[in-house]
């Protein structure tokens, strides 16, 4: 059976689940629907177990009966077997109905998460200042074109809007960011993986990406496979239907190309490479015991901040509001860099604590001290991605149109300290 939250918690603390839904801005009535489905599921299971016990008891009577009595008892047994089969089918139907009902519920929101929609976030910290210049700053598109770092026109010619080529120093700079991120995650104990970018529906559904944001995902109907928008999906599926050893947390870093339809962003960020259909990303993913999830979340955030500081970027860390979490996250921290040309902060990276929401759907468990199995907690966070080019180019631009390379990135670019206009 698939479930996104503990059925016992749903039964015993429905008001807690309703409060979480309300903070998300999601329908509270879904909780009552799930409760009704859970009650029907339990009733079906009880009836199935009663009939099966009756069948087992009847089987013993047949074995002990006199020869003349057996034909009638055997016929009764056949009727009982048919009843058990029908009851089992009703259990299957009831469990499917419960799964459908409970899947409408988002993860339980962490108590510290601010309620409300996107604009209701809380700023947790800031680093640096909102960068200003004594000259008119260029945006990343103008910089990228003059530096021959990317080609948006030809990208659109070949693949359509929101596609691009990274060229020359642009391709090298993206690779430098990714390699520095790889060194950081390796030093922090993550195992690197290159991941599939096509996954089965059950894996995509298990991670929570086929709910309210399903229109953001590319689907290949002929193969019934989905292109992933983050390696989080493949990493979450890595241990699906397994019992894992969590004597130590399992930490992975997935390097992959990512694909997003951006169906809900019509007219937004159409200029440049901030919001695109294809990009590269290094994604952290951890499996931990539920009691260790909050500490792991802070660990991921700290690594992300070290990366942005190494890139010498000005940023803020926000506690994302409940209505902007997505279905799988109980809490999410976004780190937004200051973009001088836009005079605003824009998201460069995020990290989410998904508690047991994904593992319940995917069947990933660990063995507790009592010997029983229980769902693991999963967390994810971006270590590096293509979008960082936007902030780096704009933050480190100079009056003559050149861009200063942050010291930490220079070794990954063969010692280049300044990118000059071509």
* pLDDT tens, residue by residue, 22-46: 999 999 999 999 999 999 999 999 9
What average pLDDT does range 258-281 have in this prediction?
Answer: 84
For residue 59, give the CATH number of its domain.
1.10.287.40
pLDDT score at 162: 93
402 carries an active-site annotation: no
Residue 41 catalytic? Answer: no
> How far is residue 139's CA from residue 143's CA, in Å, rounded to a whole number?
6
For 189, 291, 299, 365, the CA distances from 248, given in Å and listed in that order, are 11, 13, 15, 14
- The whole-number pLDDT of residue 103 equals 86
Q: Is residue 123 domain-shared with residue 91, that is, in the same domain? A: no
Task: Answer yes or no: do 203 and 130 share one domain.
Answer: yes
DSSP 1: -
Percent of all residues in the chain with a pLDDT value above 90, rounded to a whole number: 82
Q: Which of 33, 131, 347, 402 is catalytic?
A: 347
pLDDT at 169 over 50: yes
Predicted confidence (pLDDT) at residue 149 exceeds the cutoff of 50: yes
* 181 and 248 inside one domain: yes
Same-domain pairing of 234 and 325: yes
379 part of a folded domain:
yes
Same domain, 124 and 27: no
CA distance 195 to 235: 7
* Residue 239 domain flag: yes
Banded pLDDT at 1 (limits 50, 70, 90):
very low
- Our answer to whether residue 404 is catalytic in this structure is no
Q: Does residue 107 fall inside a structural domain?
A: no
Catalytic residue among 103, 231, 256, 350: 350
On whether residue 350 sits in a domain, the answer given is yes
Does 130 share its domain with 96?
no
pLDDT value at 138 more than 60: yes
Q: How far is CA 96 from CA 1, 37, 90, 101, in A?
A: 8, 9, 10, 9
Q: How far apart are CA 85 and CA 346, in angstroms?
A: 57
Last residue of a domain, one of 35, 70, 102: 102
With contact defined as beta carbons under 8 Å apart, do 316 and 123 qualify?
yes
Among residues 102, 133, 165, the one where a domain terminates is: 102
Shared-domain flag, residues 204 and 300: yes
What is the pLDDT at residue 267? 63
Which strand (E) or helix (H) includes residue 258?
strand 250-259
CB of 248 within 8 A of CB of 218? no
Greatest C-alpha distance within the chain: 106
Same domain for 28 and 173: no
CA 150 to each of CA 141, 163, 393: distance values in angstroms, whole numbers, following the listed order: 8, 11, 12
Torsion of CA 62, 63, 69, 72, to 10 degrees: 30
Of 24, 251, 260, 299, catalytic: 260
Task: State residue 374's pLDDT score.
Answer: 95
Confidence of residue 264 (pLDDT cuts 50, 70, 90): low
Ranking 53-57, 120-124, 268-272, 359-363 by mean pLDDT, the lowest is: 268-272
CATH at 393: 3.30.930.10
Instruction: List pLDDT tens digits, range 364-405.
Output: 999 999 999 999 999 999 999 999 999 999 999 999 999 999
Same domain? For 341 and 403 the reply is: yes
Spot the catalytic one: 275, 306, 346, 404. Answer: 275
For the chain, what is the domain count?
Answer: 2
Q: Are residues 166 and 81 in the same domain?
A: no
- Identify the three-state secondary structure at position 281: strand
Whether 126 is covered by a domain: the verdict is: yes
Closest by CA to 260, choosing from 119, 163, 123, 147, is 163
368's CB contacts (< 8 A; 6+ apart) are 374
**What angle is formed at CA 349 by the lines to CA 347 and CA 352, rounded to 5 degrees?**
115
The whole-angstrom separation of Cα 181 and Cα 179 is 5
Catalytic residue at 260?
yes
Mean per-residue pLDDT over the chain, rounded: 93
Q: In 311-384, which residue ranges form alpha helices assigned H by DSSP? A: 357-362
Query: Of 57, 72, 102, which marks where a domain is finished?
Result: 102
Give the up-direction half-sphere exposure of residue 187: CA atoms within 13 A in the CB hemisphere: 10
- Considering only 53-62, 91-100, 247-256, which range has the smallest mean pLDDT? 53-62
Containing domain of residue 84, as a range? Answer: 7-102
pLDDT level of residue 422 (50, 70, 90 thresholds): confident
With 0-12 / 13-18 / 19 or more C-beta atoms within 10 angstroms meaning exposed / middle / buried, residue 206 is: buried
**Residues 268, 333 within the same domain:** yes
**Is 122 within the bounds of a domain?**
yes
- 275 has catalytic annotation: yes
- Of the candidates 41, 299, 316, 387, the residue annotated as catalytic is 387
Task: Name the region of 262 (left: φ>0; alpha: ψ -120 to 50; beta: rest).
Answer: left
Q: What are phi and psi of 406, to 5 degrees?
A: -55, 140
- Tens of pLDDT, residues 91-125: 999 999 998 898 889 999 999 999 999 999 999 99
Is the model more confident about 140 or about 79? 140
Q: Which helix (H) or strand (E) holds 225?
A: strand 225-227
Q: Is residue 354 part of a domain?
A: yes
Q: Is 110 domain-assigned?
A: no
Specify whether 147 is located in the same domain as 235: yes
- pLDDT higher than 70, residue 301: yes
């Amino acid at each position: 059976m698939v479930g996104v939250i503990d059925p016992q918690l749903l039964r015993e603390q429905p008001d807690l689940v309703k409060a979480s839904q309300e903070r998300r801005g999601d329908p509270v009535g879904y909780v009552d629907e799930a409760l009704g489905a859970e009650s029907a599921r339990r009733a079906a299971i009880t009836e199935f177990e009663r009939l099966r016990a009756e069948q087992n008891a009847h089987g013993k009577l047949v074995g002990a009966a006199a020869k003349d009595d057996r034909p009638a008892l055997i016929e009764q047994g056949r009727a009982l077997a048919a009843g058990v089969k029908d009851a089992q089918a009703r259990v299957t139907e009831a469990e499917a109905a419960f799964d459908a009902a409970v899947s409408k519920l988002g993860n339980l929101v962490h108590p510290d998460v601010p309620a409300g929609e996107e604009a209701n976030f809380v700023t947790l910290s800031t680093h640096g200042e909102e960068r200003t210049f004594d000259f008119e700053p260029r945006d990343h598109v103008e910089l990228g074109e003059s530096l021959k770092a990317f080609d948006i026109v030809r990208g659109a010619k070949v693949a359509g809007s929101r596609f691009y080529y990274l060229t020359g120093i642009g391709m090298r700079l993206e690779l430098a960011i990714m390699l520095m991120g790889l060194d950081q995650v390796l030093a922090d104990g993550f195992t690197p993986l290159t991941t599939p970018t096509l996954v089965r529906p059950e894996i995509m559904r298990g991670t929570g990406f086929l709910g309210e944001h399903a229109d953001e995902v590319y689907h290949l109907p002929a193969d019934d496979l989905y292109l992933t928008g983050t390696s989080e999906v493949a990493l979450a599926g890595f241990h699906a239907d397994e019992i894992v050893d969590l004597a130590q947390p399992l930490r992975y870093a997935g390097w992959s190309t990512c694909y997003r339809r951006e169906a809900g962003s019509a007219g937004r960020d159409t200029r440049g490479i901030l919001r695109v259909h294809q990009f590269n990303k290094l994604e952290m993913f951890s499996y931990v015991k539920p009691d260790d999830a909050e500490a792991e979340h802070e660990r991921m955030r700290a690594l992300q901040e070290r990366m942005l500081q190494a890139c010498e970027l000005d940023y803020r860390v926000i506690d994302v509001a409940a209505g902007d979490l997505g279905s799988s996250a109980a809490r999410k921290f976004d780190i937004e860099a200051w973009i001088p040309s836009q005079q605003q902060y824009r998201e460069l990276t995020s990290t989410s604590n998904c508690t047991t929401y994904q593992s319940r759907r995917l069947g990933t468990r660990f063995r507790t001290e009592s010997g029983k199995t229980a769902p693991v907690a999963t967390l994810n966070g971006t270590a590096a991605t293509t979008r960082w080019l936007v902030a780096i180019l704009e933050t480190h631009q100079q009056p003559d149109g050149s861009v200063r390379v942050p010291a930490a990135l220079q070794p990954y670019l063969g010692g280049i300290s300044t990118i000059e206009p071509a």
